[in-house]
Amino acid sequence: ILKLLKLIGKMAEERDSNCFVVGGFVRDVILGVKNFDLDIVLEGNALELASLLARQLKGTLVVHRKFGTATVVTDWPKGLRKPLHASPKFKIDLARARKEKYEKPAALPTVEFSSLKNDLSRRDFSINAMATSLNTKTFGQLIDFFNGLEDLENKKIRVLHEASFIDDPTRIFRAVRFEQRFSFKI
């Protein structure tokens, strides 16, 4: 996974993009939990990078232009044993950093491309709003605008804004799931 993350960072850097692995992968690395769910955010053209990465990995590409996202689907990396209940294919989600606006509760968002900080601010909980740089000079640097690391240390599930559960009511179930899975408190 480390080799793959370095490759993605290098490819992004060659396109003058800042690139980050974000969300649950970062949380789980800090907690020492295995996680193969790679969510990559670029301050740049994620669709172009996804296309090039799919070719490099001899995989396929699923694109969602409206949201600036793509998924690269490929075989599991050599030397990495597929977890028992994992998908038969390895997936890497790439997205352009964005802001979202919800016209009404539980609706699909309207997307506007933006910065990493805005992208992380739209996430469900502080513990899922951390990123790690994949660019060569800053590889591995933790970015934590919303004190997610502190909340991990304090075993706390905290939403990022008052409208979080209104924007996406399924976050209520995710909060309970994280509380149970990690023995945290909401």
Average pLDDT for 86-95? 89
Whether residue 106 has pLDDT greater than 70: no
Residue 163: band (very low, low, confident or very high) from pLDDT cuts 50, 70, 90: confident
- Mean pLDDT computed over every residue of the chain: 91
Q: pLDDT tens digits, residue range 121-147?
A: 989 999 999 999 999 999 999 999 999
User: How far apart (Å, rounded) are the C-alpha atoms in residues 1 and 44?
Assistant: 22
Cβ-count burial 9-19 (b if 16+ within 10 Å, e if not): bebbbeeebbb
| pLDDT for the residue 66 | 80
In percent, the amount of the chain with pLDDT more than 90 equals 73
Whether residue 157 has pLDDT greater than 70: yes
Whether residue 166 has pLDDT greater than 90: no
User: How far apart (Å, rounded) are the C-alpha atoms in residues 143 and 43?
Assistant: 14
Average pLDDT for 106-113? 73
User: How far apart (Å, rounded) are the C-alpha atoms in residues 90 and 38?
Assistant: 9
Residue 84: band (very low, low, confident or very high) from pLDDT cuts 50, 70, 90: low
User: How far apart (Å, rounded) are the C-alpha atoms in residues 156 and 149?
Assistant: 10
Residue 85: band (very low, low, confident or very high) from pLDDT cuts 50, 70, 90: low
- Report the predicted TM-score, pTM, of the whole model to 2 decimal places: 0.90
Average pLDDT for 57-85? 86
